[in-house]
Amino acid sequence: MDKKLRNILVLAGVLILLCVGYAVAGLVFPKETPEDTAAAETSPEAATFLQITEDGLTALSYTYDKDGDGEAELWSFTRSADGETWHWADDPAVPLGSSAFYGYSSTLYGIRVVNTLTDVTEEQWAEYGLKNPVKTVTFTDKVYGTQSFCIGAYNTYNGTYCACKNGDTSTVYLLDGEFYAEFEYPVESLVHYDDLPAFKPEEMLSLTLTQGERTVTLTRGVDGEGKGVWFRSLGGEAPVTVASDLASSLELLVGDMDYLTCYSVKETDFSAYGLHENVTRMTVVYAKTESGEEVEKTFTLTLGSVDKYGYYYANPEGTTLTMLLGGSVFHKVMTYDDAHVAVGDDTETDTAAP
């Protein structure tokens, strides 16, 4: 067969397949006409889809399928009366950031309708994935009240989601898909880390680790020459000066406190992270300047099991959070050999703390 003719036949076959796919998609999801597009861009209803004011959210809830097994979990949030903070309905003590919820106002307002299908029958709902919607969003706006919408099938043909709103079963909206990811965030991703205790390495005054009956305390101080050093005491015994490698690890400790990862916000999950028994407790005393005065503060963590990278799962005292924390320094503190003392230029320094 002539090579040129063969190439033409191959291209013709590809074109036929594309046309068939285009036609099949059009059977389920109607074709968008120029008139539809113009209406979507000019109609106030189509431009906003929902009625909401800037930063007007006072309550928000959405379903979230964490494991992708079809078992959706409901996340519900409410705003404080003064509008300054948001709370998770299941546990108001979990610290949440307000900026994320301001973003939700913008996201809801910006949802765009690509096309609208009217007079939809109940039999057609399954075609649009709305008989058993994959997501439901409900919110309350301070001006326009409570509204809700359900999200069904995703249309790969034009990148839209099928949706209905406020219980109207006769109208289906094809929505621009860019908004969808915003309602996939679990509570863990909304935790506000600035509300958790934080300190700089130079502010740390002491570190105490307790595991069963074994207690190890490290305290910042100065040696006989006035140099800054760390002292280690095992079970209340006389402190000894520790070697520079351990002192350096302590200085890096704060850098290992990874508040960028929150694994859980539920106390019921503690057992999954080894935080329910045979735990190690870490107490840090650090200095903070407040109103021009230096004050001492105490921060306690419970350390659980270790992940495959050697990091500890940790729970800040007074919260239900499970965070991730660098672990090598804790192991070094607990197993450190007291014979290792700080070494000067030629001789060992005095092992007793001044």
Structural domains in the chain?
32-190 (no CATH), 196-335 (2.60.40)
Strands 86-88 and 73-79, sheet pairing: antiparallel
User: For residue 266, how many C-alpha atoms fall within 13 Å in the half-sphere facing its CB?
Assistant: 9
> Residue 100: CB partners within 8 Å, gap ≥ 6?
185, 190
Tens digits of pLDDT across the chain (354 residues): 554 444 444 444 544 444 434 443 443 454 444 444 434 444 444 456 999 988 889 999 998 766 666 677 888 999 999 888 999 999 998 989 887 788 888 899 889 999 999 999 888 888 898 988 888 999 999 999 999 999 999 988 888 999 999 988 899 999 988 888 888 888 888 888 877 777 777 888 999 999 888 899 989 888 777 788 888 898 888 888 888 778 777 766 665 566 668 899 999 999 999 998 878 899 999 998 888 899 999 989 899 998 888 888 999 888 899 988 877 788 788 877 766 665 543 334 334 333
- Tokens 């649009």 map to which residue? 128
Written as one string, the DSSP assignment of 219-266 is EEEE-TTS-EEEEEEETTPPPEEBPHHHHHHHHHHHHHEEEEEEEES-
List Cβ neighbours of 333 (8 Å cut-off, separation of 6 or more): 207, 209, 216, 218, 232, 246, 250
Q: How far is CA 349 from CA 227, 231, 247, 353, in A?
A: 11, 12, 15, 10
By CB atoms closer than 10 A (0-12, 13-18, 19+), residue 67 is exposed
* Burial (Cβ within 10 Å: 0-12, 13-18, ≥19) of residue 185: middle
